[in-house]
């Protein structure tokens, strides 16, 4: 029996990396009956057949899963941001971080184009909030090695607004990765096509990388359907204050005696993070309860 990770799924075939090679597997009939669809990123067992082919036997338990892109078992969401054109809106960072936190996926913030614009405020915001944060220039190579060490051995999904330097960073991390800038999406069959393929790549440092669509489509659909009172737990730096508010069930928006608001005022919680929280909270509040129960 073999075991590995699905790196690619195409036309009913699953390409499973078992650490040595890519085995072309077909799913057995039971996957069709059980409504259990193997995802890229799934750890699977398979029965080896002739000449590098196999039959998928089982999907091992998932650590997490995302719909857009359809991928499972992401250890680390690598968010590429920039203070230079195109400037990254912190709200978009906070939104994907909140999704990742809710699914037990760690986030790392990489602030690229540091050579053009040292975005110290952005850097400080995420460092202070408790994330691994990196100052990087894909152009000069600054910070690239440190980023490489941070993602080594992990299954990572890269995301960020278009033009922020995702392809450039992957090329800097792995010079023979061979992506022309702006090519990530094309190589993965997006942009020109409507279907969203996602594919994993192994880097030499052992990192396994999935390129994901930009922030705007990264699993944010339906996010506002989450219960508003759950949102507070996806802002990690709020944690020490959550049980110190004067009133139980405090929304941490504008309540009197709110310990979160006091921490914002004292500078212990970055203001822009709290602003993002309020925005997401209000979006979630607008959804009527009956609609939420459909989820």
The DSSP 8-state label assigned to residue 55 in this structure reads E
Residue 258 binding Zn ion, by CB under 5 A: yes
Q: Which of 52, 141, 182, 222 binds ligand GDP (CB under 6 A)?
A: 182
Residue 213 binding ligand GDP, by CB under 6 A: no
Q: Is the CB of residue 135 less than 8 Å from the CB of residue 174?
A: no
Beta strand extents in the chain (DSSP E only): 2-10, 13-17, 22-27, 43-48, 53-59, 65-66, 71-72, 76-82, 106-112, 132-135, 155-160, 200-202, 208-211
User: What DSSP letter does each residue of 124-183 carry, written as one string?
Assistant: HHHHHHT-EEEE--TTT-TTHHHHHHHHTTSEEEEEE-TTSSHHHHHHHHSGGG-PPTT-
Residue 184 binding ligand GDP, by CB under 6 A: yes
Cross-strand partners of 22: 17
> What is the C-alpha separation between 275 and 12, in angstroms, rounded?
44
Element (DSSP H or E) covering residue 93: helix 90-102
Q: Which of 88, 159, 168, 234 binds ligand GDP (CB under 6 A)?
A: 168
Nearest to residue 76, comparing CAs of 158, 156, 170, 173?
156
Q: Which of 165, 213, 228, 270 binds ligand GDP (CB under 6 A)?
A: 165
User: Nearer to ligand GDP by C-beta: 183 or 224?
Assistant: 183
Q: Could you tell me the smallest distance in angstroms from the CB atom of residue 138 to ligand GDP?
A: 4
Q: Could you tell me the smallest distance in angstroms from the CB atom of residue 109 to ligand GDP?
A: 15
Helices 90-102/271-285 angle, 10° precision: 70
Residue 212 binding ligand GDP, by CB under 6 A: no
User: Nearer to ligand GDP by C-beta: 138 or 173?
Assistant: 138
Q: Which does 89 bind (CB under 5 to 8 A by kind): ligand GDP, Zn ion, none?
A: none
- Stretch binding ligand GDP (CB under 6 A), from 12-20, 25-33, 91-99, 176-184: 176-184
Residue 115 binding ligand GDP, by CB under 6 A: yes
By CB under 6 A, the count of residues binding ligand GDP is 18
Q: Could you tell me the smallest distance in angstroms from the CB atom of residue 150 to ligand GDP?
A: 17
- Stretch binding ligand GDP (CB under 6 A), from 91-99, 103-111, 181-189, 191-199: 181-189
User: Nearer to ligand GDP by C-beta: 102 or 214?
Assistant: 214
Residue 17 binding ligand GDP, by CB under 6 A: no
Residue 43 binding ligand GDP, by CB under 6 A: no
Q: Which residue in this structure is represented by tokens 């760690």?
A: 106
Cross-strand partners of 8: 15
Residue 269 binding Zn ion, by CB under 5 A: no
Q: How many CB atoms lie within 10 A of CB 267?
A: 9
Take residue 267 and report the two structure tokens written for it: 């500078």
* Sheet of strand 132-135: strand arrangement: 132-135, 106-112, 76-82, 155-160, 208-211, 200-202
Q: Could you tell me the smallest distance in angstroms from the CB atom of residue 28 to ligand GDP?
A: 38
Residue 112 binding ligand GDP, by CB under 6 A: yes
Under the rule (CB under 6 A), what is the footprint of ligand GDP? 112-113, 115-116, 137-139, 160, 162-168, 181-182, 184
């Amino acid at each position: 029996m073999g075991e590995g990770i699905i790196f690619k799924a195409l036309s009913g075939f699953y390409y499973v990396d078992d650490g040595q090679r890519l085995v072309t597997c077909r799913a057995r009939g039971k996957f069709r009956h059980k409504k259990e669809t193997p995802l890229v990123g799934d750890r699977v067992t398979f029965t080896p057949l002739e000449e590098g082919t196999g039959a998928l036997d089982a999907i091992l338990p998932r650590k997490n899963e995302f719909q857009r892109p359809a991928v499972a078992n992401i250890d680390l969401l690598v968010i590429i941001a920039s203070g230079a054109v195109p400037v990254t809106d912190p709200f978009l960072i906070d939104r994907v971080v909140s999704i990742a936190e809710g699914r037990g996926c760690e986030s790392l913030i990489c602030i690229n184009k540091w050579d053009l614009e040292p975005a110290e405020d952005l850097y400080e915001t995420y460092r202070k909030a408790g994330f691994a944060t990196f100052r990087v220039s894909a152009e000069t190579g600054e910070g690239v090695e440190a980023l490489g060490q941070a993602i080594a051995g992990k299954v990572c999904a890269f995301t960020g607004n278009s033009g922020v330097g995702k392809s450039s960073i992957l090329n800097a991390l792995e010079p023979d990765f061979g992506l022309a800038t702006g090519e990530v999406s094309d190589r993965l069959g997006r942009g020109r096509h409507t279907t969203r393929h996602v594919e994993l790549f192994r880097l030499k440092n052992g990192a396994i990388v999935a390129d994901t669509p930009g922030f705007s489509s990264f699993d944010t659909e339906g996010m506002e359907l989450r219960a508003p009172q759950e949102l507070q737990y996806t802002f990690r730096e709020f944690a020490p204050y959550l049980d110190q508010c004067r009133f139980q069930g405090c929304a941490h928006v504008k309540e009197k005696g709110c310990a979160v608001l006091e921490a914002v005022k004292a500078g212990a919680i970055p203001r822009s993070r709290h602003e993002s929280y309020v925005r997401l909270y209000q979006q979630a509040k607008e959804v009527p309860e009956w609609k939420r129960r459909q989820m």
